[in-house]
């Protein structure tokens, strides 16, 4: 059966879109009529039609229904449970598609199912959508198909994706409050300085009174901000666009990634995030039978830092020459001693996968502790800074009032 995308009108004359499986275009139209839908357009969705959109696979109307990591994790969990229960892959896809509510996800899964029906391996079918099924996912599935343990690999993939999402959620939740607080505080101070302060302090200027230095400083800054705020916003926007373009270049990306690793406050938690991602991904790949050289090829594209990726590439070349894994990693200087030592112990004991999973848990625990300490220090510092700014504004406004009172007396 083929997969057809349709645009149709319901009994109330409202336009609706979706996908339907049928033997032919005529059968698809008949199926829509049985659902009380009147087709406007019916277009077959096949591998050929996806070539132009490979990697994005979504049309403009699907912009607000794009496939997320959460969708892929949910699909993997459901699919793994069905395959583990002994269902054939195609049957498991049928059930998963019926349970899925998002049209964009249904479209992807339906096309993958059709490719598998044609005799294509599941890994190759998933490879049609590299944006949603990265090399890590595809290679683990391929290893599971080759070893006959696909249900075990899918279960581990599900656990891996869930742990990744959980870590991402914790980091987002931890940083959400201070980021929101900083944005609100900046907006409030900007409004006060640019629009409220000139109105209040303008009274003193009309009296031809010599204003105190803090008041003159505040008025000068307020006037500058009020006259140039639109240009400042445009300048910031241009700088941001320029930074993004510079970051997309190879030297720019390397410079930014090097700064991230060495930044005073940001560097420590960022390095722990990279190491957690590296050890957990490598351990998962090796546990599922992916060759170590292939695993290093995949991991270097997963860590998200060009500096670390280059060192992983050097380590992969040394491993191809027969050297131990831990030695080139220790020589690189970018991997923490705990990671290098745990990998060395794993190599010597023959339990490399277990040691990688253990060190990933250690790094994740250290990351949680670091973020908690950072947030416990950052919140009072932000409050103190905001208090100092507000106090300066208040004092600058009150000083002329006190001087006027002295003159009246």
- Assign 3-class secondary structure to the chain: CEEEEEEEECCCCCEEEEEEEECCHHHHHHHHHHCCCEEEEEEEECHHHHHHHCCCCCCHHHHHHCCCHHHHHHHHHHHHHHHHCCCCHHHHHHHHHHHCCCHHHHHHHHHHHHHHHCCCCHHHHHCCCCCCCCHHHHHHHHHHHHHCCHHHHHHHHHHHHHHHHHHHHHHHHHHHHHHHHHHHHHHHHHHHHHHHHHHHHHHHHHCCCCCCHHHHHHHHHHHHHHHHHHHHHHHHHHHHHHHHHHHHCHHHHHHHHHHHHHCCCCHHHHHHHHHHHHHHHHHHHHHCCCCHHHHHHHHCCCCCCHHHHHHHHHHHHHHHCCCCCHHHHHHHCCCCHHHHHHHHHHHHHCCHHHHHHHHHHHHHHHHHHHHHHHHHHHHHHHHHHHHHHHHHHHHHHHHHHHHHHHHHC
User: Over pLDDT 90: what percentage of the chain?
Assistant: 3
Give dist(CA 160, CA 76) in Å, integer: 10
For the residues 368-381, what does the mean pLDDT come to? 82
What's the pLDDT band for 282 if we cut at 50, 70, 90? Answer: confident
For the residues 176-188, what does the mean pLDDT come to? 82
CA dihedral 27, 29, 34, 35 (to 10 degrees): 130
Q: Are 280 and 298 in contact (CB under 8 A)?
A: no
What's the pLDDT band for 238 if we cut at 50, 70, 90? Answer: very high
What's the pLDDT band for 382 if we cut at 50, 70, 90? Answer: confident
Compare 32 and 237 and report the one with higher pLDDT: 237
- In this structure, the number of other CB atoms found within 10 A of the CB of residue 335 comes to 24
Compare 195 and 364 and report the one with higher pLDDT: 364
Confidence at residue 235, expressed as pLDDT on a 0 to 100 scale: 94
Q: Are 307 and 316 in contact (CB under 8 A)?
A: no
Q: For residue 57, which of 107, 113, 16, 116 has the smallest C-alpha distance?
A: 107
The listed range with the strongest mean pLDDT (99-103, 223-227, 277-281) is: 277-281
Strands ordered across the beta sheet of 2-9: 15-22, 2-9, 38-45
Confidence at residue 243, expressed as pLDDT on a 0 to 100 scale: 92
What's the pLDDT band for 49 if we cut at 50, 70, 90? Answer: low
CA distances from 178 to 88, 205, 262, 323, 383 (A): 49, 38, 22, 46, 10
For the residues 283-305, what does the mean pLDDT come to? 83
Report strand pairing: 15-22 vs 38-45.
unpaired
Give residues with Cβ within 8 angstroms of 368, minimum separation 6: 170
What's the pLDDT band for 2 if we cut at 50, 70, 90? Answer: low
Give dist(CA 360, CA 390) in Å, integer: 44
Indicate the range of 26-30, 112-116, 132-136, 355-359 predicted with least confidence: 26-30
Is it true that domain 160-409 has CATH number 3.20.20.140?
Answer: no
């Amino acid at each position: 059966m083929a997969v057809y995308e349709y645009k149709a009108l319901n009994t109330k004359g409202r336009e609706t879109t979706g996908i339907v499986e049928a033997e032919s275009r005529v059968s698809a139209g008949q199926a829509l009529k049985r659902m009380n839908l009147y087709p406007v357009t019916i277009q077959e969705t096949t591998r050929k039609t996806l070539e132009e959109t490979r990697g994005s696979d979504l049309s403009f109307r699907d912009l607000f229904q794009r496939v997320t990591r959460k969708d892929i994790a949910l699909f993997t969990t459901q699919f793994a449970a069905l395959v583990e229960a002994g269902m054939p892959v195609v049957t498991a896809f049928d059930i998963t598609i019926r349970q899925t509510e998002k049209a964009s996800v249904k479209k992807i899964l339906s096309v993958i199912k059709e490719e598998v029906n044609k005799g294509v391996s599941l890994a190759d079918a998933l490879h049609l959508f590299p944006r949603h099924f990265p090399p890590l996912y595809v290679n683990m599935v391929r290893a599971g198909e080759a070893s006959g343990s696909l249900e075990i690999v899918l279960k581990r993939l599900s656990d891996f994706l869930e742990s990744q999402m959980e870590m991402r959620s914790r980091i987002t939740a931890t940083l959400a409050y201070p980021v929101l607080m900083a944005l609100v505080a900046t907006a409030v101070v900007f409004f006060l300085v640019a629009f409220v302060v000139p109105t209040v302090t303008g009274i003193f200027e009309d009296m031809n009174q010599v204003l105190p230095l803090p008041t003159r400083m505040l008025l000068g800054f307020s006037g500058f901000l009020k006259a140039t705020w639109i240009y400042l916003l445009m300048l910031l926007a241009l700088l941001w666009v320029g930074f993004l373009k510079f970051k997309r270049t190879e030297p720019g990306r390397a410079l930014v990634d090097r700064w991230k690793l060495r930044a005073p406050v940001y560097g420590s938690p960022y390095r722990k995030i990279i190491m957690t991602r590296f050890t957990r991904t490598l351990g998962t790949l090796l546990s599922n039978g992916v060759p170590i050289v292939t695993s290093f090829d995949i991991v270097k594209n997963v860590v998200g830092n060009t500096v670390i990726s280059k060192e992983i590439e050097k380590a992969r070349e040394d491993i191809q020459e027969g050297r131990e894994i831990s030695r080139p990693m220790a020589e690189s200087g970018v991997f923490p001693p705990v990671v290098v030592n745990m990998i060395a112990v794993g190599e010597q004991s023959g339990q490399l996968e277990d040691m990688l999973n253990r060190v990933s848990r250690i790094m994740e625990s250290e990351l949680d502790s670091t973020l908690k300490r950072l947030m416990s220090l950052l919140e009072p510092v932000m409050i103190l800074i905001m208090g100092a700014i507000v106090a300066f504004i208040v004092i600058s406004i009150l000083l002329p009032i006190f001087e006027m009172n002295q003159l009246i007396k």
